[in-house]
Amino acid sequence: MARRQVQYVLVCEDQQQEAFVRRFLKETGLLKNRRKLRIERASAGIGSAEQFVRAQYVKELTVGRRHPVERTLIIVIDGDKYGVKGRLRQLDKACDEKGIDVRMSTDRVAKFIPTWNIETWLAYLAGDTVNEHRKDYLRLPRPSDCTKHAKELAAMCKERRLREPAPESLKAACSDYHKSLR
Amino acid sequence: MLKRIYIDNYRCLLNLELRLHELTLFIGQNGAGKTAVFDVLYALRKLLEGRARVTDRDIFPFTSLSRWQERALQIIEIGVELEGADFEYRLEIEHDKVERRARVKREDLTRDGGPLFKFDLGDVRLYRDDHSEGPSFTADWRESALARVAPAKTNAHLIRFLDFMRNVLVCGLTPSSFSTEASTEEKLIARDGGNFVNWFRHIVQERQDLLHEYTLEMQDVLEGLRSFRLEQVGVETRALVGVFGERDKPQEFRFHELSDGQRSLTVLYALTMLTGRKHVLLIDEPVNFVGLTEIQPWLVDLAEACGSRISQAVLASHHPEVIDYIGADRAVLFSRDGIGPTRVESLSDKSKHLVADGPLRLSQVMARGWES
């Protein structure tokens, strides 16, 4: 049944990224039914989550190109010390290593690369002025505590204006959001 | 929140201690002891409700002693965190192997180390909330004396613990046993979910505030559903009816006319959305009848509910969707050598490497038996 088909595939590292993106998609009105979103999250507690995201990114690109279905791929990976550009290069390299084109005009992919990590964005959305080189912004007690942060970002996206000074990684993500998701 | 369970000399569970999270998944091969833990918690809840005796068939019968043990003493301990305080409950059941009888030997409850209740060889000593000694009396050895304590001004902590344990719901849903009609309201859902409609009648009366959101969710889950309603089919009897289709041309289906999967989903979402904040859900193989596209959305809802809409959840499942979504950090791996005792262990390094390096998902590692 068409109603059951997934429209968004989210590949992410952890529960906090997942909870934030789910809420953001809901707040922006893109995700009205949870069944339209498929989540591919790294298995928590085992190995490198960012490695999982890179590997899964290549798999999802390959599948999407071989069997075109109308869906948007959303990749979330912490920038860490590599930042947005460094992570984008790593994602491209992962494609090269598997022998697939880095970009095709038919790909609908949004890449969100919070730097240093998702907690940096959450601190910004809670009203702080953040430094993307700082890696000790506090985790929320529960991943689900990010509702107000997602609402704040959705409101800014609607206005197409982030509160300044905004983290560069969030600016890049917003640009990708408007290009690939709207 | 249920934080710790210790079980000794119950079927395959020997000197076994478990630590639980807000959402925990029991994984492991068939016969490893996952359901036995659920059985203990189910029996304990029934005892603490005051509705069962230790020797009842589904409580702690003689046959529940570990086969290879000469000892006749069973020990259950429960660690619970409530409102920032640590409660420790301990129950000792002594079996008479000749007479095939059992009795409660000791039963203790403490809060942050201070006593709230002691039962020792037939004598009860109550303690006030400030841990000073209260009255003492004798009690029936065949049941939980703690369950008989009535609320009073000085025992709010003890009653809080009892209330918590009485809201532990243990389920293994069997759609074929779900009734469509109910003549009474029931506060707790039965282990097989058979009385779901009785429970739903209770919810309709008590928690109308939650029904709107539940109906909206179920409209996404069951295609074409508009609402559920309770239709009067007898003086006291109501039948659960699903109303589907367009407003001007509705089609109604009795609950038993829905598929096993649709009925399971109806109950599963009711558990996460309608039970309330006090409840701990333990669900054995929750997604047995559920279609693949519906499993992850329910798990997402369950994970969101834990710590907010409900207190906590523990699942036991072999399903790859469940294993891969909940993941290794919230999984408790049960294993057993032959018919020996159950062990709880970490995933092996080999299995961690296979998942970490990307070639296999955790469920695929388990399908190959490489998890331990």
- Report DSSP letters for B289-320, one per residue: T--HHHHHHHHHHHHHHBTTTBSEEEEE---H
Please, which residues have CB within 8 angstroms of residue B50's CB and are 6 or more apart in sequence?
Answer: B143, B144, B147, B148
pLDDT of B338 > 90? The answer is no
**Single-letter residue type at B59:** I
Sheet holding B101-111, edge to edge: B16-19, B2-8, B73-82, B85-96, B101-111, B114-120, B123-127, B133-138
pLDDT of B336 > 50? The answer is yes
Write down the pLDDT at residue A105: 78
Q: pTM value?
A: 0.94
Among B99, B60, B57, residue whose Cα is nearest residue B76: B60
Residue from B1, B355, B360, B364 to probe the interface with A (highest A Cβ count within 10 Å): B355
Which residue has 């390299």 as its token pair? Answer: A93
Secondary structure (3-state) at B335: strand
- The CA–CA distances, whole Å, from A126 to A71, A117, A148, A150, A152 equal 31, 15, 8, 10, 8
Percent of chain B with pLDDT over 70: 98
d(CA B296, CA A38): 8
pLDDT tens, position by position, B228-249: 999 999 999 999 999 999 888 9
Nearest beta carbon to residue A43 from set B296, B308, B362 = B362
Chain-chain contact of B356 with A15 (C-beta, under 8 angstroms): no
pLDDT tens, position by position, B38-75: 999 999 999 999 999 998 888 999 999 999 888 999 99
Instruction: Check: CB of residue B32 under 8 Å from CB of residue B371.
Output: no
Please, which residues have CB within 8 angstroms of residue A145's CB and are 6 or more apart in sequence?
Answer: none
pLDDT tens, position by position, A98-127: 999 887 878 889 999 999 999 999 999 999
State the ipTM, two decimals: 0.93
pLDDT band at A69 (very low <50, low <70, confident <90, very high): confident
Please, which residues have CB within 8 angstroms of residue A104's CB and are 6 or more apart in sequence?
Answer: A65
Nearest beta carbon to residue B293 from set A4, A39, A51 = A4
Q: What is the mean pLDDT of residues A51-76?
A: 89
A46-55, A72-81, B71-80, B131-140: range with lowest mean pLDDT: A46-55
CA-nearest residue to B353 within chain A is A47
d(CA B238, CA B226): 19
